Every structure is written in structure tokens, then in C-alpha cells.
Amino acid sequence: MVPYICWGFCFRHFFLGHLPLFEDAISYADHIRFYTDNLSHGVYPLWDPTWCDGAPNDFFLRRIGDANPLLFLIVLLKWFGVSSSTAYLIFLGVYYFLAGWAFYLIARLLLVDRFFAFMAYVLLLFSSWGSEIFYNYIIIIFLPIIWFFYFLLSFSRKAQRAYFLGICFCAGMIVTTYIPFFFLTIMVVFSFLCALFYWHELSDFLKRSLGFFIKNKVFTILCICFLLISCIPGLLFYKESKSGDFVLPGRHSGADSSSAIAVGLDNVASGDIISHGYFDRILDNHTHLDMGDIYLPYVFFLILLTSTFARAYKLIFFLLFNILAIALITVTSAAGVHRFLYEHVIIFKFIRNIYYFFWLAILPMGILLSVAAFKSLLESIDRSSKKAYWLLYIIACHLIFIFFLRGHQEVLWGAWTAIGISLLYFLLYFFCEKKISYLIGFCMIFLAVFIQSAQVYESLSGNLFRVQKNVEIREHLNVASAPLAKMDIYYSSSLFAILVKYIDPQVLDDYRGHKLMLYDNVVPCEDNTAFLKTLQLAMANNANIAFVPRSESTPGNWVSKQSASLHADNDPITSGKVSVVSFDANTWVLRTHLADNQFLVINDNYNLGWHAFINGHPTRLFRANFSFKGVWVPAGDSKIVLRFSDPKEYIFRFFLIGLFAGTFLYLLVLLKRNRTSNV
Amino acid sequence: MYKTFSRQIQWLASRVAVIYVVLFLFCITCIDLKTLDSRIKTRHLNDSIPDFSGMIHFSQDQDPISPNDWKSYKYYFGLILRYIPDDIVTRQLLGYVDYYTGHEEEAISLFKQSSMMQGRILFWSNYNLGIIYYKKGMWPQAAGYFLSAIRSNLDLNLLLMQNSLVYKQIFANHYFKYSINDEIHQAQSRAYILLLSSLHRMHQYEKMNLIFKIAMDNKDLSYKDAFYYYGGLSYLGMGQAEKAFLLFQESLNIEKNNPDVYYYIGNIYQNVGELEKARNFLQASYVLHQKNDPRFPYDNHLDLRFF
């Protein structure tokens, strides 16, 4: 816990809200906030009315992994009166802590000794992985991945229900997101190399697993059913992505798949490791550190250097080849592997930010490798009869490192301190009793990492404060209010994207300003660019004509009233004709009081999933004015209900949340039982 | 012997050092290091592009730039030169930044390195060198560089600017609302004025007169009033007061607020004994001097430029 608290101190400006979130972390925070806000009101938001005038929300739900029971932490905190931003930051902090904990447990499984596990944990904690949580969203996928590997390793050693359920639960959490492909890739590489390096152990493991499955048939079947159910939202989303309901123009450009979430090859290269990591300045220039940059405490390099002549055992090579295999993919155009995979393996068509592999696999495995090498070094020293040579060699390594760093620019004093402490640790190891050096070793390694990292992150915060004039974290969603002229569409309904492309931004902005509009005349139209010019003219003049597609309507739906006024009623609420009874992400409830039947246009995007009801009876919902919703309302008083999707869908979603929450609780119970029985 | 050697090799092969060998082999066999290198450079450059608005404002109005902004320009241009050491346009720009950040020697060196390209004279470096030497009172050097500047091919310089990626970034800035064609011609006119002024200070009136005539023949130049004024000074220096008087009158017809023209006309009147007129002109000169019009004297504008 102490290292974690110190890590929190390094990033206090973020946690205290003095510094905002950056890049993708902002949109993820917004979507999680939107989801949890709705959930806390009992609404499962399948539609997001705030995103580009309304869009299906499944895309964002898949990104955040909606069934994740840990999201309830935010709901709970908000229930206790914590603000949305603070609740989200606490959630991030907890997530990072849990990830660090899993990493510690994995290190303990692999390296056995607590000291080395602690060392690996501290190195990961204080690497720039910590800054990533405020910069992008990979912590959301990292947590289930790292716990998955912990459960898998534990299960490989001792086939127990808790571990098997842990594996299934983590895999379930991963597949409910739309990006399980990072995990799949890591898993395939890991499995292949496992088979190569641990052939004998693997056959034992398979036999033991088979024995476990036979012994726990029902439990295994239930776990597999859980996994299969977890796959349903992802599969439904994949189907939806091919329906053309929504578009992701920036991401999809150049892609050769009909799915809207597929990524063009050039787009992938812009998200590879070369485009994001500053590996050529990993050892210096730490005063210029920016969000997303790679930083590793010097202890990492020092132990790799000093361990050069330690014995390399199988685990080290296993980790090394995992790293190399994944690195080959992450450098994209600098090696041919990624192109090959992109062309022949479908999942690679959906991976954009390929540099995440660095944070998800290369860095954690690299740290494990270095600590494993360090462990081997200490074992080599212990076994050796010529300890003096080892001592001289280690001193020489430190001197070489110092000499090397002197040639670099802007090396912070914390770095020199780290080297000093590292050398002191080795001297202690050689000249003190093992018990003493072991205990003091914890403190020294922690200090060597912490002092340097604290200075580096202080410098990072300083840089961010200089750059960031507006440091307020957004408390409200304000995407929809962004002027279209400045809106770079990332994701929207496909029809809305066409409107944005063809209609003058100012005209469309003015039109969007009116959420509800009443028309007297409804005319048919064709979906072509010529019509869009007519539509622009009608929008600009607020003409009293609404347009419905000829192919989606009948002559009975078209009305032309000669006596009607020239302009549409673009403020029917003020005129008392329409009132909004209630409104949430998936539902509109309106009351109307009309002298004559009129066509009500709701300027929220049309989608086949929307259904309309007037006075409790289903009625036809039209696609009006190219992209929006429209409905004929009879004269007199009426109650109009617009609802997105059908009850079965909501029942399934709530069931899934319940299933995950229940499984999570059961997993905790099993783990607790395991722990008790182990004690 | 063989056994010992074999044992040593076996020992080495079982050490962690092998992972470095594997890494090395991996890099040279599996990775296209050239692509890697070029992409890393591109990434560095893209991430270092500064906001050029400060530099644009400073160039036009001498609005102060924060030390951090200067630092970002210097870092960016320095980075480009690290990757493309012979980029002449970036040398000019780095020279500009160096000069205003107090590194005059480095600036002079960079301008000198970028004053010629394959035997062709480049305008901005020569112009800026002329300004630097003029400010230091080193008239012959200043005159030499201004002469080079006015002899340069402006079309070539414009082409260089238009094709330069860095200039494209500057032009793309929201605050860049200038015609580079007009700006370079205006700078060329200034180069003529400062050349004439340098020659005047060296008392080289014949050369001054020659430059005046060349300047008058060039239809693209602005500040004709200034050329008449310096033409007048050249004739005055050569002892031809009548011609000088006529040219001063021409200058006065275009620009009525230059106090120095009144002063010299007053002097001419004084020398021919028309004291009343002389007094009037000298008084007018005095009054105009009090106004401190920033446009005068003509050689008052001594700022380095990059557009």
C-alpha cells in the first residue's frame, strides 16, 4: 500500500482535479459518466441523445464494457454524494491499484520471493503506466487481462474452482468490450510460446485441467455458458456495425471491411509504437516528459545491466520471446508481420491503437524479465565462491551507467540518487547479513524508484500546468453543443454524417437549435444530393415543409395545406402546443394540444430501433428531414411516447449486469474460501 | 584447450547476455531499421511543431515572445537541422531565433551558412546580416550584405519559401494574413534604403547615386520618397546642390512629414543666402522632429525578418 500511496502523491494534481484528463481518457470518462448517471436512475442508455444529435450508444457501451461490476463503484460513490469527476478519478485509482496488485501476485507466482515480486510491482507502478490512466483508456482492458493471467497461472499450478471462475469472469469482462483483440493476440502468442517452452509442463497442465473439468462438470458448463452469454453483446454489436446505422469516418477510412469499426491500414500505422513511444530518449530528457511518453525508473536498466552475466533460465527466454513476438506486430510498417496479419487474420482489421500492446504486454513482461534476471544475479552471487569479482563487476556496471548518462542531456538529480541507492544496496548485499539486507532491500529499492519517479512526475505536472490553461475537468457533457463547423465527426449516425457533409454548418447549427418542430406540410423526397440542397434551403428559411423519404412513406402520409403559414412552428413549447412530460436517454414522453393534425419533427436522429406510440397505440415513426424523427399527431390532446429498442433488449442488458455482478461476488466468495483453506 | 573454450562458450550461452545478442539479431533481421529511423524522426518533428503565432506577431509588431516560446522555436528548428543538416531555410529561421535570444554569433554564423545556395544569393540571410552589421555600425559589411540582398533573385526566394515545409506551417497559422510577395518586395525596398544609408555613412556618394538610379528604375519598389531623399543626399555629397534640391522637392511631393528633407532644403536655402526660406524649412523640420513620426528617419527600421 505504501508505494501505491506514494504513487498517488506523484499524481495528486490529477486526483485533486488541478490537472484535467487528456486525449481519449476524456471521452471515456464522459461515456462512463453518462452510463453510470443513467444507470443510477434506473435507465440503461442504449441511445445517446447528446452525441451528434443522437446515436446508438452500444458503440460506447462496448468501449467501456458495460457489464463490468466495478463500474458500480462510481454509482455507489455518487450515491454517497461524491461528484462525478471525483468518483471517476477514484474509480481510475482503484483500477490501477487492482492492476498493480494482480501484477504483484503474478510476479510472486513466477519469481516466488516476495522481495522480487515487490520490486516488479514498484517498477510497474512508477513507470509511466501510471500516467496512461489519465491519458487513455487501456486500464479498462488491462485490468481484466492481467487478472486473467493471474488466474490462469494459479489454475496451472492448482486446479481450483475459484481460479477457473476467475479465468472465465475476466475473459467475460474482456469480450464484453469491442476490443478483445489485444487480449486475443497476447493470449495466442503466450499460448504458442508456452507450448514451445513448457512442453512437458503443458501436457501435465492439460491432464490436470481435464481432471478438474470431469470432476466439476456442472460448474465447468456453467462457466462456459457464462462466457458464451458474455459474447452476445459483442456479436450483436459486430452485426450492428455492418448494418450501416452508424459511421466512424476517421477510423474507417481505407478499411476493406464492411464493418464500420474496421480500421484502414494507414490508420493503424499512425497508432503504432513508433508513432507514440520515445524509445530514443527513454534514458534522458525527462524534464520534457509529456503524457503518453514512456518512462521507466533507472533501476530497471541498472538491474538489466548488472545481470548481464547472471544465469539465464527458461522464464527469461520465454518472456523475451513473448516481447519480441508482440514487438514485431507493434512496429507495423517497420516489419512485415503486421501487414501479413492485417491481410490474413480478421481481428487485426479492428485494432487501431496498436501501441497499446506495449503497455498491455511488452512493458509488464519486460519488467518481469528484468526482475527475473536480477533474481538470477543474486542467486549467482550467492552460489559463487569469487564474490569479490562480482562486487567489482557490479561497481563497474554502475560506473558505466554513470558514464553513459553523463553524455545525455537533462538527467535529473533523482536519477543520480537512484544509481547511488542501487550501488548502496549491492554493497549492503555483499557486506551485511542476508536477513538485514533483505529487509532493508525493500526500502532501498522502493526509494531508488520513488525518488527518481517523484521528480520526473513533478516535472511532468509542471509541463502540463504550463500547457494547460483551462484545468477544469468537464462536469457536463457538452459534445452536442459543439458548433458543427468545428465538429470533426468521430462517430455518428450515418445519415447525420451526410447532413454534416452537405448542409451549410451555420444553417444546420441554427436548425439543430430547435429540438421540436411542428409542420403543416409533408412532402416526399429522394435521398440524393439534389434533395439536400432543397433541404438546406428549407432549413435556412424555416419553411413549413417537412420531408419524408418517398420509399419509406405512402401518398396518404403526404399533406399539403394551402392555408398553412409560410414558416414552421420551431418553438411549439412556448406556443403551448407541445410539452415535454419526461425525457431520458431512451424515451421521450410528450403531450400535444393541436387545433389541427400536424407533423411533429423531433430533431434527434432517426433509427430503426425507435418506436412511436400515440395515446398508447403504436404509430408510424418517419424519417423526417433526412436524418431526424417525425410523427403525424392528430388534432386535440394526445400523449406521444417515443421509445428506443424493445423491452427484451433491456431485460437482457440488466440480466447481463446482474449476471456479472453475481459472478463477481461468487468469485470473491470462492477466493476467500480458498484463502481460508490455504491458511 | 578446446574443452576449456567450449566450456566458456557454454557458460556464456547460458548467461543473460544472450538476450542482448538475441535482441541485436532480432533488430537487424526482423526490423527495417531505416523505416524505423525515419518514422522516429518524423514523429519527433511532428510533435515539436510550435505555435508560430508568437513569431509572426513579433516579426510584424515586435510583440514580446515568452522565453518558452522562443525555446520551442529554437528546439524545433534545431531538431530539423539535426535530421536535415543542410536545410538552408531552417538555418535562416534558426538564425532569426538565435539573434533574438541573444546568440548573435550563432545567428551570424547560421545566416552566413545560408546566404548562398548553389551559387545563388538568398535574400533573407543577406538582408538579416546587413541589418546586424548596420546595427553594429560596420557600414562596409552592412553595405556588402544589402547589396547581395538586392542582387538576389526574389522569385527563387519566394519559391523556396513556398516549398519549405516549415514556411508552410507558418503560412497555415491563423495569424498569418500577409502576402509573402508583397512582404519580400517591401523588404527589398528596405534593403535599398539601408544600402543607401550605409553608403551615405561611408561618404561613397557616387555609388550611392548609382544605387539610387537603379532603385528608381525598379518599378516593384516602394518608398520612392526615400529614394529621392537619398538621391538628393548623394548629389549633395557630390556638391551638386541644384540636383539635390530638385530630388528633395520630389521626395517632399510624395511624403510631407519627413523632417530631414526640410532640414536639407533649409540648408540649401541657407547656403544660397535665402535666409527667410531657410528659416521656414528649418523650423518645419524642427516641428516635424518633435512629432517623432516612427517612419523617420528611413533607416530607423532595423528589425530582422523572415518574411
Q: How confident is the model at residue A656 (pLDDT cuts 50, 70, 90)?
A: very high
Alpha-carbon gap, residue A675 to A406, rounded angstroms? 50
Report the b/e string of A525-537 with b at 16+ CB within 10 A: beeeeebbeebbe
Q: Do B17 and A309 touch (CB under 8 A)?
A: yes
Written as one string, the DSSP assignment of A536-601 is: HHHHHTTBSEEEEEGGG--GGG-B--TTS-SB-BS-TTTTTSEEEEEE-SSEEEEEEEESS-EEEE
Beta-carbon neighbour count of residue B93 at 10 Å?
A: 28
* d(CA B11, nearest CA chain A) in Å: 9
Q: Give the strand pairing for A578-583 and A598-605.
A: unpaired
Nearest CA in chain B to A313: B14
**Segment among A559-563, B249-253, B276-280 with least mean pLDDT:** A559-563
Contacts of B44 in chain A (CB under 8 A): 278
**Segment among A457-471, A652-666, B78-92, B145-159 with least mean pLDDT:** A457-471
User: Which pLDDT does position A277 carry in this prediction?
Assistant: 62
Alpha-carbon gap, residue B250 to B254, rounded angstroms? 7
Radius of gyration of chain B (CA): 28
Is this complex's ipTM strictly greater than 0.90? no
- Give the pLDDT mean for B171-183: 89
User: Which pLDDT does position A481 carry in this prediction?
Assistant: 42
Alpha-carbon gap, residue A269 to A352, rounded angstroms? 8
Alpha-carbon gap, residue A213 to B102, rounded angstroms? 76
Task: Give the model confidence (pLDDT) of A333-378 as tens digits.
Answer: 888 888 888 888 888 888 888 888 999 999 999 999 999 999 999 9
User: Which pLDDT does position A124 carry in this prediction?
Assistant: 95
CB pairs under 8 A between A and B: 65
Contacts of B39 in chain A (CB under 8 A): 274-275, 333-334
pLDDT over 50 at A482, yes or no: no
Task: Give the model confidence (pLDDT) of A139-155 as tens digits.
Answer: 989 999 999 999 999 99
Written as one string, the DSSP assignment of A354-395 is: TTHHIIIIIHHHHHHHHHHHHHHHHHHHHH-S-HHHHHHHHH
Q: Do A275 and B43 touch (CB under 8 A)?
A: yes
Number of helices and strands (H, E) in chain B?
Answer: 17, 2
- Site of grid cell 569479482: A389
User: Which pLDDT does position A678 carry in this prediction?
Assistant: 67
- Residue in A591, A589, A641 with CA at minimum distance from that of residue A611: A641
Q: Do B23 and A324 touch (CB under 8 A)?
A: yes
CA-CA-CA-CA torsion sign (A492, A496, A500, A504): negative
**Which residues contact residue A286 at a Cβ distance below 8 angstroms, ignoring those fewer than 6 apart?**
A295, A410, A411, A412, A415, A456, A459
Q: Model-level pTM?
A: 0.79
The CA-atom distances, in angstroms, between A149 and each of A105, B90, B203 are 10, 51, 87
Q: Do B15 and A280 touch (CB under 8 A)?
A: no
Q: How confident is the model at residue A475 (pLDDT cuts 50, 70, 90)?
A: very low
- Give the pLDDT mean for A101-120: 94
User: Which pLDDT does position A490 carry in this prediction?
Assistant: 83
Q: Do A312 and B19 touch (CB under 8 A)?
A: yes
